[in-house]
Chain A
Amino acid sequence: GDSVTQMEGPVTLSEEAFLTINCTYTATGYPSLFWYVQYPGEGLQLLLKATKADDKGSNKGFEATYRKETTSFHLEKGSVQVSDSAVYFCALSENRSTDKLIFGTGTRLQVFP
């Protein structure tokens, strides 16, 4: 079945460092891909998405490109801030009639001043 694999955390960075969180997926068709973020004490929020190959999703300085050839959707940010500390979840949705999401296990990011 469909699945998402993302790098284990925690990822610990200093402020202004470059961030990459790897995500790869397995799907039988052509899924939409998402990154969700969960800040401490808050619910899951959509960070960005891409619906087809070569699309780039971007938001709040974060970017991810849908790579069909490598089945990947890696999350990147050029300069992280302390406020980016959160848990990041990669997810896919393949069922167009339900849009149900399949999530990875999450990667905790800790950014220190």
Chain B
Amino acid sequence: GAGVSQTPSNKVTEKGKYVELRCDPISGHTALYWYRQSLGQGPEFLIYFQGTGAADDSGLPNDRFFAVRPEGSVSTLKIQRTERGDSAVYLCASSSGLSNTEAFFGQGTRLTVV
């Protein structure tokens, strides 16, 4: 596609359930990022992939959060045992992987935990 695609656009889940959020980056982009944006805040970094490997996962808040990118393209962010505090917009971005190049953002997945 022409841009970064995230699905679903909205997800409502019950506390304690497991959710998966998907990101399709721009074709050919080797770098992929996940950010979380809580209401009234700026996006906060979660994890960075270069190719298939998670090169920096220092932003993941705890071990309930996990992300994969098995073929170096599509990425899935997985959240186990969801809590109400996980409610936020989860943003994905991709870039060419060269230093200082623009990161292109998707429109995000709004996750609501009830």
Chain A residues with CB under 8 Å of chain B are 4, 32, 36, 42-46, 49, 51, 89, 91, 93, 95-106
Output the residue of B40, B101, B105, B106 with the most chain A CB within 10 A. B105
Whether A105 touches B42, Cβ cut-off 8 Å, given contacts A42-B107, A51-B100, is: yes
Contact B100 A32 (CB under 8 A): yes
Contact B42 A104 (CB under 8 A): yes
Smallest CB gap from B98: residue in A: A99
Of B11-19, B43-51, B75-83, the stretch lying at the interface with chain A is: B43-51
Contact B56 A100 (CB under 8 A): yes
- With beta carbons under 8 angstroms apart, the residue of A97, A104, A106 that contacts B55 is A97
Question: 10 A-B pairs, CB-CB below 8 angstroms?
Answer: A43-B108, A44-B43, A44-B93, A44-B105, A98-B48, A99-B31, A102-B45, A103-B44, A105-B41, A106-B40
Q: Determine the chain B residues whose CB is within 8 A of the CB of A97 once the complex forms.
A: 55
- Please, how many angstroms separate the alpha-carbon atoms of A45 and B106 in the complex? 9
Which residues of chain B (25-74) have a CB below 8 Å from chain A?
Answer: 31, 33, 35, 40-45, 48, 50, 55-56, 59
Contact B45 A101 (CB under 8 A): yes
Contact A99 B42 (CB under 8 A): no
- With beta carbons under 8 angstroms apart, the residue of B45, B91, B99, B100 that contacts A44 is B91
Contact A43 B42 (CB under 8 A): no
Smallest CB gap from A93: residue in B: B100
Smallest CB gap from A45: residue in B: B105
Q: Determine the chain A residues whose CB is within 8 A of the CB of B93 once the complex forms.
A: 44
- Please, how many angstroms separate the alpha-carbon atoms of A96 and B107 in the complex? 25
Smallest CB gap from A32: residue in B: B100
- With beta carbons under 8 angstroms apart, the residue of B3, B43, B95, B108 that contacts A99 is B95
Smallest CB gap from B101: residue in A: A99
Contact A89 B42 (CB under 8 A): yes
Q: Determine the chain A residues whose CB is within 8 A of the CB of B107 once the complex forms.
A: 42-43
Contact A101 B43 (CB under 8 A): yes
Whether A99 touches B41, Cβ cut-off 8 Å, given contacts A43-B4, A44-B91, is: no
Not counting A95-B56, A100-B45, A106-B40, a sample of 7 additional A-B residue pairs whose C-beta atoms are within 8 angstroms of each other reads A44-B43, A44-B105, A45-B105, A46-B102, A96-B99, A99-B99, A102-B45
